[in-house]
Amino acid sequence: MNFTGKTAVVTGGSRGLGRAVCRKLAEHGANVVFSYAGNTAAAQEALAELERMGANVRAVQGNVADSAAVKALMDTAVKEFGRLDILVNNAGITRDGLVMLMKEEDFDAVIDTNLKGTFLCMKAASRIMLRQKYGRIVNLSSVVGLHGNAGQVNYAASKAGVIGMTKSLAKELASKGVTVNAVAPGFITTDMTDGLPEAAKSSLLSTIPMARLGAPEDVAEAVAFLAGDGAGYITGQVLGVDGGMGM
């Protein structure tokens, strides 16, 4: 894998999976522009870590569900590094609750960030990638988008929607040198899953054939593969990274 001379935008790159993706792409030579929502301390920490690795990196605060912020994010990549080769749509949130109790604003917030945010970023990046006749878009879906999960109708809808958008955009851009794929992680140890009660974690473990939660690096490897030149004949696919959970 060699990303030297390539520029990647990773949304939500300050923590968790996004941060591991930034590290992996930077390790293989990419210039990295990552976004975050509002946790400046985590973003500064990620920035410092990537700079220590010798990476060319920029951090941009902004909501992925806001089209002006998304434009500013993509503009940063082009202005600072001249290109935008890789987009990883990773920013995401959960607002769990059983359907009868779920507040309308919790449904909207999850759809806004996870689904509309991915749409806005794909739209802004595709314009640039089409001009370049080259691009790699990798979207973060989830095993929950494929199989559902009690207490997560909003999240499942957003992540199933991401798969539909991935396949549709893949068809739109297939002949233009731009691939669009998704990864569907299972349960990965990040801040998002840290809050789960211990009982929920152990019952989850029993559903994972590999009998362990995933690490952010497990997902980063798959994202980097799909973002690489070696995956040039792969588009519209959903790659499970779930220890066998989705079999």
Contact 89, 138 (CB under 8 A): yes
Q: Which is nearer to ligand NDP, 130 or 238 (CB)?
A: 238
Q: CA-CA distance, 119 to 28, in Å (whole number)?
A: 27
Q: Between helices 153-173 and 117-132, what is the axis angle to 10°?
A: 20
Q: Which is nearer to ligand NDP, 2 or 40 (CB)?
A: 40
CA angle 72, 76, 79 (to 5 degrees): 125
155 is catalytic: yes
The catalytic position among 36, 134, 155, 233 is: 155
In angstroms, what is the minimal distance from the CB of 233 to ligand NDP? 25
Query: Which residues would be at the binding site for ligand NDP (CB under 6 A)?
Result: 11-12, 14-18, 35-39, 42, 63-65, 90-93, 113, 117, 140, 142, 185, 187-188, 190-193
Q: CA-CA distance, 33 to 47, in Å (whole number)?
A: 10
If we measure between CA atoms, which residue out of 201, 206, 208, 166 comes closest to residue 185? Answer: 208
Q: Which is nearer to ligand NDP, 65 or 231 (CB)?
A: 65
In angstroms, what is the minimal distance from the CB of 80 to ligand NDP? 19
In angstroms, what is the minimal distance from the CB of 129 to ligand NDP? 20
**Which positions are annotated as active-site residues?**
155
